[in-house]
């Protein structure tokens, strides 16, 4: 016998499992695969457990928002365009399912390179070793020139680049999110962190133009987000710090002007990993002012096509 006392279990209280609240039920399980299923049928086979229902809920919320005249705002980091998602994003824009887009400077640069040259995303290590990382002259000349010219006419950075692409009629312009937004009249705003992008390394970068155009875009985005209230959807895809902070400040301004009327929308965070700021600003903060929040983790090149198909299926029912 042990010399140490043991806890006596004879008086432990028990309950019937019929009285216990259980979070998992067999009827919520996934359904086994079958050959030849439609996408809608496949989506319905996902388990109604944890994130299983979230994709369908986001799709329903986006379609419901647009049918109700509410805003659907996409905020996206550079990796989204580098994974080839432009055709899906452009299709959603053309269907009227997106009302505004916010991107960082790197997204805009990659998008411009795709439009002009059909290629992007250099080998950073090799470029650093040679001392040529970020030194593509054609990219910088177009980007910096477009913003210098457009900002002087009172345009935001997204308008500067969109208008320049439309005018240039580049060989791959149909794959450009920036050009498509300008063509469709959808505000696309570029939120620039000075010194963070390769085009800032070139002598033709003008800080006053970059900063002025980007600040104008912040105000354009804030106004576009006004329509989120009472049923809109705000999605942050692949930006861990910059765009979540921009979105938070826009939300703060709208709460300042509109008070408790600015509420009742869905905030969604998509990324490879769930980072602190993106979850806080787009999910937790949205919940704190009376909205809903969803976080989904996974590769952009898988999740975005799935969401795109789910939204289109929902919209065409």
Please classify residue 70 by burial: count the beta carbons closer than 10 Å to its beta carbon, then call 0-12 exposed, 13-18 middle and 19+ buried. Answer: buried
Local structure of 79: helix, strand or coil = helix
Which residues, in sequence order, are bridge partners of residue 75? Answer: 102, 236
Separation CA 309–CA 192 (nearest Å): 31
Please tell me what DSSP assigns to residue 74. E
Q: Is 315 helix (H, G, I), strand (E, B) or coil?
A: helix
Q: What is the pTM of this model?
A: 0.93
Q: Where exactly are the structural domains of the chain?
A: 51-315
For residue 287 the two structure tokens come to 């919940």
Residues 152 and 207: beta-carbon distance below 8 Å = no
DSSP sequence for 113-157: HHHHHS-----HHHHHHHT-TT--HHHHHHHHHHHHHHHHTT--H
pLDDT of the chain, 317 residues: tens digit per residue: 899 999 999 999 999 999 999 999 999 999 999 999 999 999 999 999 999 999 999 999 999 999 999 999 999 999 999 999 999 999 999 999 999 999 999 999 999 999 999 999 888 999 889 998 988 899 999 999 999 999 999 999 999 999 999 999 999 999 999 999 999 999 999 999 999 999 999 999 999 999 999 999 999 999 999 999 999 999 999 999 999 999 999 999 999 999 999 999 999 999 988 899 999 999 999 999 999 999 999 999 999 999 999 999 999 98
Class of domain 51-315: alpha beta
Taking the CA of residue 13 as centre, how many other CA atoms within 13 Å lie in the half-sphere pointing to its CB? 1
Give the Cα separation of 10 and 12 in Å (integer).
6
């Amino acid at each position: 016998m042990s010399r140490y006392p043991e806890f006596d279990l004879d008086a432990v209280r028990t309950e019937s499992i019929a009285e216990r609240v259980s979070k998992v039920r067999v009827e919520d399980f996934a359904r086994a695969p079958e050959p030849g299923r439609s996408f809608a049928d496949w989506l319905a086979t996902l388990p109604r457990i944890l994130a299983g229902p979230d994709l369908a809920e986001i799709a329903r919320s986006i379609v419901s928002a647009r049918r109700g005249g509410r805003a659907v705002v996409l905020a996206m980091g550079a990796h989204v365009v580098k994974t080839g998602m432009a055709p899906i994003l452009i299709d959603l824009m053309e269907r009227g399912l997106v009302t505004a887009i916010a991107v960082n400077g790197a997204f805009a640069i990659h998008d411009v390179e795709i439009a002009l040259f059909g290629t992007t995303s250099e080998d950073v290590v090799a470029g650093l070793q040679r001392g040529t990382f970020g030194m593509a002259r054609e990219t910088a000349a177009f980007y910096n020139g477009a913003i210098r010219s457009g900002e002087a006419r009172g345009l935001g950075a997204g308008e500067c680049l969109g208008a320049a692409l439309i005018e240039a009629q580049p060989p791959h312009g149909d794959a450009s999110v920036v050009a498509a937004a300008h063509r469709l009249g959808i505000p696309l705003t570029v939120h620039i962190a000075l010194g963070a992008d390769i085009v800032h390394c070139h002598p033709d970068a003008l800080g006053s133009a970059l900063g002025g155009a980007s600040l104008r875009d912040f105000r354009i985005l804030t106004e576009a987000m006004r329509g989120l209230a009472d049923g809109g959807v705000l999605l942050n895809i692949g930006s861990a710090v910059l765009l979540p902070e921009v979105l938070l400040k826009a939300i703060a301004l709208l709460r300042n002007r509109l008070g408790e009327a600015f509420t009742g929308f869905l905030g969604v965070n998509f990324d490879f990993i769930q980072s602190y700021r993106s979850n806080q600003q787009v999910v937790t903060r949205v919940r704190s002012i009376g909205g809903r929040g969803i976080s989904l983790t996974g590769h952009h090149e898988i999740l975005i096509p799935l969401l795109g198909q789910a939204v289109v299926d929902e919209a065409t029912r």
